[in-house]
């Protein structure tokens, strides 16, 4: 038995009103942003080797003597190789940033990203778009004998890096996706996690950062396998790349 036409009309009207209110409500939600932020070019004598930025979860973001390229990496969670169409100054000009969110926000990594993205858009006029390509890379997978990982200990914040300089891969409270991210610069190609392993682990090993030079240390792949039971499997992988459409060298006034 069909419902009366009037009832169908009322139902459709209510449905349209509901959709309209949903769209209006979502449009009224402002993007996450810092409550107060100061951005300045670093002093002329600033040394990029002394660049630093605050760790997650401290309720404030401070960065001193850092490049805009680094700020983009922190804002979007990408590696430097995933940023293209970069102006020459993006990796040389240095900036100082001091930003605070609203009360009650501790600025975890996930809370920092949208606020830093908004800051870069507002102060530097950063406009980007993302493209996905299949490129040469590595999949992080379990080795033939299976993984042997050390569950994290202590209260380090997620992804804490003790030392990820050339020849070192050491940190605490790492997920497998974070390990893959930190392996990317050392491997020279993007690394994606395909282990299927959940949880967080403490990672620590040394490796030969220059395979063409003699060393008592094992290669990156060998050291990784010895320390964790994981391996790097060469394959084509899906990589998201950020393309810079426009960006300003001088930040807008505070």
Residue ranges covered by each domain of the chain:
36-124, 134-239
Query: Tens digit of pLDDT per residue, the chain (254 long)?
Result: 555 555 555 555 555 555 555 544 444 566 788 989 999 999 999 888 888 888 888 889 999 999 999 999 999 988 888 899 999 999 999 999 999 999 888 888 889 999 999 999 999 999 999 999 888 999 999 999 999 999 998 778 888 888 999 899 999 999 999 999 999 989 988 899 999 999 999 999 999 998 778 888 999 999 999 999 999 999 998 888 999 999 999 999 87
Q: What is the pLDDT of residue 223?
A: 96
- Asked if 54 and 97 count as a contact pair (C-beta separation under 8 A), the reply is no
- Asked if 219 and 211 count as a contact pair (C-beta separation under 8 A), the reply is yes
- Asked if 79 and 73 count as a contact pair (C-beta separation under 8 A), the reply is yes
Q: What is the pLDDT of residue 49?
A: 83
Q: Is 170 exposed, middle or buried (0-12, 13-18, 19+ CB in 10 A)?
A: middle
The angle subtended at Cα 177 by Cα 186 and Cα 34, nearest 5°, is: 100
Of 211, 212, 208, 222, nearest in space to 168 by CA:
208
Q: What is the pLDDT of residue 4?
A: 59
Q: Show Cβ contacts of residue 63 under 8 Å, excluding neighbours closer than 6 positions.
A: 51, 52, 53, 54, 70, 71, 95, 96, 97
């Amino acid at each position: 038995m069909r419902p009366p036409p009037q009832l169908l009309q009322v139902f459709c009207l209510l449905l349209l009103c509901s959709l309209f209110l949903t769209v209006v409500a979502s449009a009224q939600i402002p993007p996450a942003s810092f409550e107060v932020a100061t951005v300045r070019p670093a002093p002329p004598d600033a040394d990029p080797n002394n660049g630093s930025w605050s760790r997650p979860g401290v309720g404030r973001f401070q960065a001193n003597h850092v490049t805009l390229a680094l700020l983009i990496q922190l804002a979007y969670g990408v590696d430097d190789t995933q940023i293209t169409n970069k102006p020459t100054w993006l990796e040389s000009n240095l900036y100082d940033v001091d930003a605070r969110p609203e009360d009650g926000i501790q600025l975890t990594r996930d809370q920092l990203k949208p606020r830093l993205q908004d800051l870069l858009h507002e102060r530097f006029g950063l406009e980007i778009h993302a493209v996905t390509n299949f490129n040469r890379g590595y999949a992080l997978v379990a080795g033939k004998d299976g993984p042997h990982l050390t569950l994290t200990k202590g209260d380090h914040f997620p992804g804490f890096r003790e030392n990820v300089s050339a020849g070192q891969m050491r940190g605490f409270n790492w997920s497998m996706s974070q390990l893959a991210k930190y392996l990317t610069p050392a491997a020279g190609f993007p690394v994606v996690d395909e282990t299927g392993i959940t949880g967080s682990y403490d990672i620590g090993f040394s490796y030969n950062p220059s395979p063409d030079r003699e060393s008592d240390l094992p290669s990156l792949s060998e050291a990784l396998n010895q320390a964790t039971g994981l391996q790097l499997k060469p394959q084509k992988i899906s990589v998201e790349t950020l393309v810079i459409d426009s960006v300003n060298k001088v930040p807008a006034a505070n």
